[in-house]
């Protein structure tokens, strides 16, 4: 797989349950070496290039509007 070429088109690749099952046992080559999809988890996004304004930790716990007051 030419991940550099893929990254020219998309920021990341989202791995669904169906895709995770389909790539079991595959070894994908990259410039950095072998990438084993078995280490990717269901509903995981593999980011190929930075696509964010900044990096902040996601809020923890339930959304504030669901917390009983």
Contacts of 6 (CB under 8 A, 6+ apart): 13, 48
* Range(s) of the domain holding residue 22: 1-46
C-alpha 43/C-alpha 4 separation (Å) is 22
Q: Is residue 63 part of a domain?
A: no
Residue 41 in any domain: the answer is yes
Average pLDDT on 39-58 reads 77
Total number of domains in the chain: 1
- Residue predicted with more confidence, 32 or 36: 32
- Provide the percentage of residues in the chain whose pLDDT is more than 70: 78
**Residue 47 carries which DSSP code?**
E
Q: Is this prediction's pTM over 0.85?
A: no
| Per-residue model confidence (pLDDT) at position 26 | 76
* H/E run at residue 29: strand 28-30
Q: Give, in order, the Cα–Cα distances in Å from 60 to each of 27, 30, 35, 64.
A: 34, 34, 30, 10
């Amino acid at each position: 797989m030419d991940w550099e070429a893929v990254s020219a088109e998309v920021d990341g690749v989202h791995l669904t349950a169906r895709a995770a099952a389909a790539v079991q046992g595959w070894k994908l080559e990259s410039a950095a070496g072998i990438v084993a999809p078995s280490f990717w988890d269901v509903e995981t996004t593999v980011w190929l290039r930075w696509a964010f304004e900044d990096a902040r930790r996601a809020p923890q716990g339930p959304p504030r509007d669901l917390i009983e007051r």
